Structure 1
Amino acid sequence: MSEMEGAPHQGTQKRRLQVNPETLRLVPAEKRDFWEKLAEDVEINIASQFGKRWTMLATLTVILATPDETYEDIARTLNRSPGAVRYRRQAMIHLLRDEHAAVDRVKAYRSDPKTFHKYSDYAQVAEALELLGYFDLPVREQFALAAPLGQPSKSWRGDGSSAALAQRRDRDGSLKQEVRRLLDEARPYSKSA
């Protein structure tokens, strides 16, 4: 039975309930304030189309983009996140190259959209590729069209993690020092138990 048929993932184990029998300690207010202030430093920019249904026009915009365009450029045009644009583009690449069971995902979605709703993005991209006649092209041309867009670095995934890591590296380190101090302060309590 394949994953698409509902088989559980290999290697997953049941989680055990972990009970901490120690009595709870109250954390002084000044230490709680430090952790609560961390939330104020977080800044999230959300695209206006985040979580909204993709139109065929928006999907075609991603498919017809040329490799000299970047994920950020297309994302700005569509009011989407670069990661969402990258996901659509990767679906296109996987379908044209017939990789990662992309064609099977589309077939599964078309056979039962309710059960395989998580493959709806691939199905819409496949529909757009069919409308454009990309599947009728010779394989050599399909592979030539299956190119990613420009990205800031090779490891970029579009989820914002690289920007978050860069921002973290640029900080003065005071957060790291404060966490180390708190951990050092907490160690005598854990050894006495």
Structure 2
Amino acid sequence: MSEMPGQATNRAPHRRLQVNPETLRFVPAEKRDFWEKLAEDVEINIASQFGKRWTMLATLRVILASPDETYEEVARVLNRSPGAVRYRRQAMIHLLRDEHSAVDRVEAYRSDPKAFHKYSDYAQVAEALEQLGYFDMPVREQFALAVPLGQPSRSWRGDGSSAALAQRKNTYSSLKEEVRRLLDEARNFGST
């Protein structure tokens, strides 16, 4: 496994599986129907460019956005999620301020794009900043440009669309796995 230069290798301890000792209770079908229909009615509005490759033009739009614009406004123009725009803008800020190992990420990606593919966003933002001449500016001017866009609150980190999509995708497969496990457990119950 390749690691980024300067990245900590300490991993969080594994959490133990908690077993519920209570017996399983079956829920009548008429009560289950309500919850199943409720899950089908949920609609997630996803930007048309969600998950698509970023163009250099779109990256430049994020970099050149005025600090009085909001992430939602820029996202609407680009057909992207506000969280995706925020990620690009934060990459720009980290590169201009030389913080959070941003420059190391770009160098790692450029040295081995396959091993460090997750840093391709930072590499594209760095390329745009180089083309604009931002790295040639005095540090004072770089810091003046490294400003986040308007956001609903200080703790806002995006609209959660990627998390919602990932959960929707994983829910079906995890339910299938759980049913298989329960069937196997029921089959093996009498043989032990």
What range is the shorter-chain TM-score in?
0.7 to 0.9
User: Shift in Å at residue 159 of structure 1?
Assistant: 2.5
User: Shift in Å at residue 63 of structure 1?
Assistant: 0.3
2:117 paired residue number: 117
Structure 1 unaligned regions, length at least 5: 165-193
Alignment RMSD, CA only?
2.5
Cα offsets for 1:151-188 (capped at 9, x unmatched) = 12222222248xx9xxxxxxxxxxxxxxxxxxxxxxxx
Kindly provide the amino acid, as one letter, of the partner of residue 121 in structure 2: D
User: Shift in Å at residue 97 of structure 1?
Assistant: 0.4
Q: Percent identity?
A: 86
Q: Which moved more, 1:148-157 or 1:91-100?
A: 148-157
**CA–CA separation in structure 1 for the residues paired with 2:16 and 2:153:** 40
Q: Say whether residues 1:155 and 2:133 are aligned partners.
A: no
**CA–CA separation in structure 2 for the residues paired with 1:37 and 1:147:** 44
| Number of aligned residue pairs | 161
Structure 2 unaligned regions, length at least 5: 165-192
Kindly provide the amino acid, as one letter, of the partner of residue 150 in structure 1: G
**CA–CA separation in structure 1 for the residues paired with 2:94 and 2:101:** 8
Instruction: List structure 1 runs of 4+ shifted beyond 4 angstroms.
Output: 5-9, 15-23
Q: Say whether residues 1:99 and 2:99 are aligned partners.
A: yes
SS at match of 1:4: coil
Cα offsets for 1:113-169 (capped at 9, x unmatched) = 0000000000000000000000000000000000111112222222248xx9xxxxx
**CA–CA separation in structure 1 for the residues paired with 2:109 and 2:160:** 29
User: Shift in Å at residue 33 of structure 1?
Assistant: 1.7
Q: How high is the TM-score relative to the length of structure 2?
A: 0.75
Structure-2 change in CA distance of 1:160 and 1:11 (3 Å): closer
Kindly provide the amino acid, as one letter, of the partner of residue 30 in structure 1: E
Q: How high is the TM-score relative to the length of structure 1?
A: 0.74
Q: How does 1:166-181 map to 2 (within 5 A)?
A: none
Asked whether the equivalents of residues 4 and 108 of structure 2 are also in contact (C-alpha less than 8 Å), the reply is: yes
Q: How does 1:68-83 map to 2 (within 5 A)?
A: 68-83=68-83
Kindly provide the amino acid, as one letter, of the partner of residue 74 in structure 1: V
Kindly provide the amino acid, as one letter, of the partner of residue 91 in structure 1: A
1:179 paired residue number: none
User: Shift in Å at residue 20 of structure 1?
Assistant: 5.4
2:136 paired residue number: 136
SS at match of 1:49: coil
Kindly provide the amino acid, as one letter, of the partner of residue 146 in structure 2: A
